[in-house]
Amino acid sequence: MSVSMVSAPTEARAFMLAGKAVFTAKSLNTGAHMTFKVKAAKKPGTVTHFVYVRDGSPGDSKFPYLGTLNAEGVFRVGHPDRTPFNDSSRQAIVFKFLAEGLRRDMISENVEIWHEGRCGRCGRALTHPDSIASGIGPECARKADR
């Protein structure tokens, strides 16, 4: 698996909202990192994306539900019956910080966004350097431009 950093805010937002994005946010201040999955809702309404966060246990690949991201890019933690997280959970605070920055076309200089070498829209392996840099394959990028 190859990993790559997405450094431009517009590319990071496009990647995260492409439909099947898995990415890791790393704090340059603390070295801490957190992996998120952002999936497009099948029937968009007021919710456009569902947000999940990796459990964090070594070797565990589960992504419990964290919350939703609406069409304006506003993140809300899920209902307490559906998620173990709340507004004061570290995972919710981190994702809300990322979402707020991307709404303003900014990535904090203290945060890196890394994808795992797969297209954020379709999940296929990325092989072209431009696609690896953006996190979106050329076919998916063309479809998004339509």
**In degrees to the nearest 10, what's the CA dihedral of 118, 19, 63, 44?**
-170
90 — pLDDT class (breaks 50, 70, 90): very high
Domain boundary assignment for the chain: 4-145
Alpha-carbon gap, residue 82 to 30, rounded angstroms: 30
Phi first, then psi: what are they for 31, rounded to 5°? 85, -5
Give the pTM.
Answer: 0.87
Chain segment 25-84, per-residue pLDDT in tens: 999 999 999 999 999 998 867 788 999 999 666 666 789 999 999 888 899 999 999 999
What pLDDT is attached to residue 58?
62
Cα Rg of the chain, angstroms = 14
Place of tokens 């190859």: 2
Chain segment 109-142, per-residue pLDDT in tens: 889 999 888 999 999 999 988 888 889 999 998 8
